[in-house]
């Protein structure tokens, strides 16, 4: 059995067919961040809403240097037909044009590699009875390290504001010796990392406030 993927694991590399042509995953990521996300099945309602939202948020991903790629155990022909429905339905919420690649993982090679298959829910299967993919999200950094994993139930569409919020936190905490508090969003005060001593804190974060020796907040340092 493949070892389970954890935060800090290297995202496994693979080759796959996608709606944007064949890819080698690591090469496709290049120097960007990446979101690999799976949906259970094409032509299903919740998935139709999710993939449209991801298309509408393309500028939000781009400005953070994030590439997005979808995946399900459906074939290319199915994906390509379904994309037309996604765009048509999504238009009521704003211009919707799915340009990001969707992996056609009929063999379930990638889904197995990333442990995305739903082995528990006997109803989450295709016509042949083979398991479909869970709504999974992997956020991968430019070093190809897995930085976030989330699994959602089939009945619940994902919140891409939250995924973007975590990416904002990861990108800022990679740059500075800080952490981000509950419900943090870009522009809010941040927390000084425990490794920063009191004297160092005065220099690095002159505007900080000490609530407790272990809980010090500060405006976000300028870049």
- Torsion of Cα atoms, 203 then 206 then 211 then 216, to 10°: -60
- Minimum CB distance to ligand BEZ, residue 2 (Å): 24
154 is an interface residue for ligand BEZ by CB under 6 A: yes
44 is an interface residue for ligand BEZ by CB under 6 A: yes
HEC string of the chain equals CCCCCCCCCECCCCEECECCCCEEHHHHHCCCEEEEEECCCCCCHHHHHHHHHHHHCHHHHHHCCEEEEEEECCCHHHHHHHHHHHHHHHHHHCCCCCCCCEEECCCCHHHHHCCCECCCCCCCECCCCCECECEEEEEECCCCEEEEEEEECCCCCCCHHHHHHHHHHHHHHHHCCEECCCCCCCCCCEEECCCCCHHHHHHHCCCCEEEECCEEEECCCCC
Of 107-126, binders to ligand BEZ (CB under 6 A) are: 124
47 is catalytic: yes
Structure tokens at 162: 């939250």
- Minimum CB distance to ligand BEZ, residue 160 (Å): 15
Rank residues 41 and 141 by Cβ distance to ligand BEZ and give the closer one. 41
Span from 15-23, 44-52, 79-87, 158-166 in contact with ligand BEZ (CB under 6 A): 44-52
Catalytic annotation, pick one of 47, 66, 132, 167: 47
Span from 41-49, 80-88, 141-149, 213-221 in contact with ligand BEZ (CB under 6 A): 41-49
141 is an interface residue for ligand BEZ by CB under 6 A: no
From the list 18, 34, 40, 136, which residue makes contact with ligand BEZ (rule: CB under 6 A)? 40
- Minimum CB distance to ligand BEZ, residue 191 (Å): 37
Span from 21-29, 36-44, 171-179, 184-192 in contact with ligand BEZ (CB under 6 A): 36-44
Cα 167 to its chain centre, rounded Å, is 8
From the list 41, 53, 118, 141, which residue makes contact with ligand BEZ (rule: CB under 6 A)? 41
Instruction: Report which of 127, 148, 162 is spatially closest to residue 42, judged by C-alpha positions.
Output: 127
Span from 8-16, 43-51, 80-88, 104-112 in contact with ligand BEZ (CB under 6 A): 43-51
- Minimum CB distance to ligand BEZ, residue 87 (Å): 17
Binding site for ligand BEZ (CB under 6 A): 40-41, 44-47, 124, 154-155
Catalytic residues: 47
């Amino acid at each position: 059995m493949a070892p389970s993927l954890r935060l800090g694991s290297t995202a496994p590399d693979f080759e796959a067919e996608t709606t944007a042509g064949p890819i080698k995953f690591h090469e496709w990521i290049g120097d960007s961040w990446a979101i690999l996300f799976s949906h259970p099945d094409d032509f299903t309602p919740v998935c139709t809403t999710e993939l449209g939202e991801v298309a509408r948020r393309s500028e939000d991903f781009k400005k953070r240097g994030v590439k997005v790629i979808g995946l399900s155990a459906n074939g290319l022909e199915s994906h390509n037909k379904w994309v037309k429905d996604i765009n048509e339905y999504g238009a009521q919420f704003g211009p919707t044009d799915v340009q990001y690649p969707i992996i056609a993982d009929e063999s379930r090679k990638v889904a197995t590699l990333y442990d995305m298959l739903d082995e528990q829910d006997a109803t989450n299967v295709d016509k042949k009875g083979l398991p479909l993919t869970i709504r999974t999200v992997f956020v991968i950094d430019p070093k190809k390290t897995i930085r976030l994993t989330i699994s959602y139930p089939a009945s619940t569409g994902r919140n891409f504001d939250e995924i973007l919020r975590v990416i904002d936190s990861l990108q800022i905490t990679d740059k500075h010796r800080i952490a981000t508090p509950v419900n943090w969003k870009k522009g809010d005060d941040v927390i000084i990392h425990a490794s920063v001593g009191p004297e160092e804190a005065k220099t690095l974060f002159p505007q900080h406030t000490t609530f407790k020796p272990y809980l010090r907040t500060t405006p976000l340092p300028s870049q």
